[in-house]
């Protein structure tokens, strides 16, 4: 079993829609969770960073962690064409030396 | 800071040739990671360094791959001899605390 599993999509939504991106992870000891956004032909860039359970909001983006079900989510409100990208979830080992990335979900927001 | 700098951005070579990819991490970051990204397998960790010392190279696919970090501001990933199946995007990332910062990647095509 991979440390992080992510539905690859692709996902296509109309502009203004609410988008939900999801991942599951295998190790209940993981504490730090991240969402990276990767535009075409670019490197991944950090979008959201959360610690332990709960929600974190940043503008139109909300990251949610449910440790009881080992489930992490990213919600995008009022999606825009500029949100079209691949979104990768990630977590990190407790030693801080090993990152585990999901395979990424490709999102297209249609104007 | 200019971020993580990788060169070249694109590399096209013929099977059997030696390929050298370069990376300059963000100043002050003590950890450096090399990844390979393909559509099929997503981001795969090849090797990472901590304070210029290779810590885990278990992701290096075979002996044709080698990586060095002679000082805190420079790392190379070498493939010799290259094969068509090595075609991918190679990313370098440096880490501070629990966040990884990626370069723009090197798109390698081996014909």
Could you give the dihedral angle defined by the CA atoms of residues A53, A56, A60 and A66, in that order, rounded to the nearest 10 degrees? 0
Chain B residues touching A44 at Cβ < 8 A: 43, 91, 102
pLDDT tens-place string over residues B3-51 = 999 999 999 999 999 999 999 999 999 999 999 999 888 899 999 999 9
pLDDT of residue B61: 86
- CB-CB contact of B23 with B76 (8 Å): yes
Size of interface A-B (CB pairs under 8 A): 47
**CA A28/CA A42 separation, integer angstroms:** 31
With cut-offs at 50, 70 and 90, classify the pLDDT of residue B1: low
- Provide the pairing of β-strand A54-58 with A61-66: antiparallel
Determine what percent of chain B is predicted with pLDDT higher than 70.
99
Cross-chain residue pair B101–A104, CB shorter than 8 Å: no
Give the minimum alpha-carbon distance from A65 to chain B in angstroms, rounded to a whole number.
Answer: 17
Put simply, whether A48 touches B (Cβ < 8 Å) is no
Put simply, whether A98 touches B (Cβ < 8 Å) is yes
Cβ contacts of B45 within 8 Å, gap of 6 or more: A98, A99, B33, B34, B35, B56, B59
Cross-chain residue pair B91–A98, CB shorter than 8 Å: no
Per-residue pLDDT of chain A (111 residues; tens, 9 = 90+): 788 999 888 999 999 999 999 999 999 889 899 999 999 999 999 999 998 888 999 999 999 999 999 999 999 999 999 999 999 999 998 777 788 999 999 999 999
pLDDT of residue B51: 93
Burial of A95: CB neighbours in 10 Å, binned 0-12, 13-18, 19+: exposed
Chain A residues touching B102 at Cβ < 8 A: 36, 43-45
Chain B residues touching A43 at Cβ < 8 A: 4, 91, 93, 102-105
């Amino acid at each position: 079993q991979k440390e992080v599993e992510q539905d690859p999509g692709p996902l296509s939504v109309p502009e203004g829609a609410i988008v939900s991106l999801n991942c599951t992870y295998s190790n209940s000891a993981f504490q730090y969770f991240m969402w990276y956004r990767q535009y075409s032909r670019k490197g991944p860039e950090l979008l959201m960073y959360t610690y332990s359970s709960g929600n974190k909001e940043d503008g139109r983006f909300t990251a949610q962690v449910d440790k009881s079900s080992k489930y992490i989510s990213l919600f995008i409100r009022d999606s825009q064409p500029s949100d079209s990208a691949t979104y990768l979830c990630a977590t990190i080992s407790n030693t801080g030396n090993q990152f585990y990335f999901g395979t990424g979900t490709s999102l297209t927001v249609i104007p | 800071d200019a971020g993580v700098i990788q060169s070249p951005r694109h590399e096209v070579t013929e099977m059997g040739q030696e390929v050298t990819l370069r990376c300059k991490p963000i100043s002050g970051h003590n950890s450096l990671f090399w990844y390979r990204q393909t559509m099929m397998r997503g981001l795969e960790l090849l090797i990472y360094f901590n304070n210029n010392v290779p810590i885990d190279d278990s992701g290096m696919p075979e002996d044709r791959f080698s990586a060095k970090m002679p000082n805190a501001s420079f790392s190379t990933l070498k493939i010799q001899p290259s094969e068509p199946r090595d075609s991918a995007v190679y990313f370098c990332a440096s880490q501070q605390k629990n966040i990884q910062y990626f370069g723009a990647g090197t798109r390698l095509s081996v014909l």
